[in-house]
Structure 1
Amino acid sequence: MANSNITDIFSEFQTFISHEQESREKIRSTVKDIEQQAREVLAILQSIHLETGIRDIPENCVQARKGFENAKAKYSELMEIIPDGQYYRFHEHWRFVSQRLVFLIALTIYLETGRLATREEVADILGMKTNRKDGFVLDLEDYLVGLLQLASELARFAVNSVTAGDYTRPIAISKFVTELNSGFRLLNLKNDGLRKRFDVLKYDVKKIEEVVYDLSIRGLCPKTTVSAVQDEGNDESK
């Protein structure tokens, strides 16, 4: 009788393990589909770094948003797989791709409007929530990491904009990234990974400032605009 009880107990364990393995495989498969959508959007938006890419920004943003719709559908499938109350148990599976999509959405919105995408806005585009009680949530850390990735991409874009002959865009990028840096400085970051990623932001700011400075000494941008940007940068360093 004792051996029978032990067998029953371990049979239940095996049922649990088998069910979890099945769930993880479904999660991995769905996340791979989301990652594919993110790669396709990234390929579209990377064209901004080409000499002729700036003129294609409106159309590429339209194409990017179609990719976000596809990713949203896949996230909806993912939500059906995750057992109730176990979001953070499996979160590592989609953490990276969520950060990548935050970056891509934020980049798209910046290219369209010149402003920062809010967490609520990004979550809505992906069919997520910002409050865990309301459902499948866009983790705050994932959102912040995505914004830091955006800053690095814009630093690269500032350099390539000059190559493409657009001398005003780096000034706008400098103002935006400086303000973003100011926002992050308000946070008391405890997470080591996020803190290290934030440390890169100061180099992104410096890189963009160097582009603006080079334009100014060459007389390729309005001095009043440059002065305003430099003043903001000086304020940040205090």
Structure 2
Amino acid sequence: MDEEINKTFEAFNSHLVKEQDKREEIRNVVRELEQTGREIMTVLNAIHQGSGIKEVSQICKRSRELFQTVKSKIEQLAALFPADEYYRFHDHWRFCIQRLAFSASLIVYLESERLATREEVAEFLGVTVKKSDGFHIDLEDFLHGLLSLGNELSRLAVNSVTAGDYSKPIRIAAFMGELNSGFRLLNLKNDSLRKRFDGLKYDIKKIEEVVYDISIRGLRPTAQDAKEPSMEETPAQGEK
């Protein structure tokens, strides 16, 4: 082989090896990030148990503590590549970040029964919403997280009734209606987002069936009883 060609391909090989090593480093950190994400969901899954519904404050506190590890891992991840190469490696962590965005959105809902903002989710992750800052919360990843929230809340509505809480499904139904209306304002051309959004109507239907069942059984609380203060509005112990 010609010496010049040999040098050229040696340079190519060196570049490919470095690229492979970098991607392997990224995959290793993402695996650790995914493990922390699973730990967060294990904690949050306690809300579906009878006792867990009554211990939401403690569950959310423990979940927030685990997000400190998430911030640390994302900081490690961001250090592995230049800020302008975020989308070059995005596929490695995209689904993991979507699940973490969902977990963060669920925590915000459980604490205050409202929709988390993109900025709030970014704060959970220790990043920003600006592309210019390098590692950020991509808008589509954030929206995927919100759509996963719908599925989780439909499950919570069913389990709340089992636990004897007949007002929560009504509030969840109202929230889901607003979430659905918000997504309808978006011009969703992304195929995966479009499919996920199409699935939201089944989550809403499931919740509506729960509310209907409560109503025909005469278990639906009055409008005043159905309005439950958020954890932020609840007086601290000992206050009057």
1:206 — aligned with what?
A: 205
Listed as ranges, the gaps of 5+ residues in structure 1 are 227-238
Q: How many percent of aligned residue pairs carry the same amino acid?
A: 54
Matched ranges for 1:96-107 at <5 A: 96-107=95-106
C-alpha distance in structure 2 between counterparts of 1:198 and 1:130, whole Å: 22
1:55 — aligned with what?
A: 54
Alpha carbons 1:161, 1:170 under 8 Å: kept: yes
Alpha carbons 1:75, 1:126 under 8 Å: kept: yes
How far did residue 223 of structure 1 move? 5.4
How far did residue 128 of structure 1 move? 1.4
Letter in 1 for 2:183: F
2:173 — aligned with what?
A: 174
Alpha carbons 1:167, 1:221 under 8 Å: kept: yes
Match of 2:193, SS? helix
Letter in 2 for 1:43: T
How far did residue 224 of structure 1 move? 4.8
Alpha carbons 1:216, 1:223 under 8 Å: kept: no
After superposition, what is the alpha-carbon deviation per residue over 1:37-73, rounded to whole angstroms, capped at 9, x for unaligned? 0000000000111111111211111110011110110
Letter in 2 for 1:21: Q
How far did residue 126 of structure 1 move? 0.5
2:128 — aligned with what?
A: 129
C-alpha distance in structure 2 between counterparts of 1:38 and 1:156, whole Å: 20
* Runs of 4 or more consecutive aligned structure 1 residues displaced over 4 Å after TM superposition: 223-226
1:233 — aligned with what?
A: none
2:7 — aligned with what?
A: 8
Task: Please state which structure has a larger fraction of its residues in helix.
Answer: 1
1:148 aligns with 2:173: no
Match of 1:86, SS? helix
Alpha carbons 1:57, 1:111 under 8 Å: kept: yes
C-alpha distance in structure 2 between counterparts of 1:64 and 1:58, whole Å: 10
Aligned residues: 225
Match of 2:135, SS? coil
After superposition, what is the alpha-carbon deviation per residue over 1:92-146, rounded to whole angstroms, capped at 9, x for unaligned? 1101110000110000111011111101110122111212012211111110010
How far did residue 166 of structure 1 move? 0.6
Q: Which moved more, 1:215-224 or 1:96-105?
A: 215-224
2:235 — aligned with what?
A: none
C-alpha distance in structure 2 between counterparts of 1:116 and 1:49, whole Å: 20
Matched ranges for 1:205-224 at <5 A: 205-222=204-221, 224=223
Letter in 2 for 1:96: F
Match of 1:85, SS? helix
Alpha carbons 2:122, 2:128 under 8 Å: kept: yes
2:190 — aligned with what?
A: 191
Letter in 2 for 1:115: R
1:138 — aligned with what?
A: 137
Match of 2:84, SS? coil
1:232 — aligned with what?
A: none
Alpha carbons 1:158, 1:170 under 8 Å: kept: yes
Alpha carbons 2:36, 2:66 under 8 Å: kept: yes
Letter in 2 for 1:202: K
C-alpha distance in structure 2 between counterparts of 1:164 and 1:153, whole Å: 16
Letter in 2 for 1:94: W
C-alpha distance in structure 2 between counterparts of 1:195 and 1:30, whole Å: 30
Give the TM-score, by structure 1 length. 0.91
2:43 — aligned with what?
A: 44
1:234 — aligned with what?
A: none
After superposition, what is the alpha-carbon deviation per residue over 1:134-182, rounded to whole angstroms, capped at 9, x for unaligned? 2211111110010000000000000000000011110111111110000
Letter in 2 for 1:131: K
Alpha carbons 1:49, 1:157 under 8 Å: kept: yes
2:110 — aligned with what?
A: 111
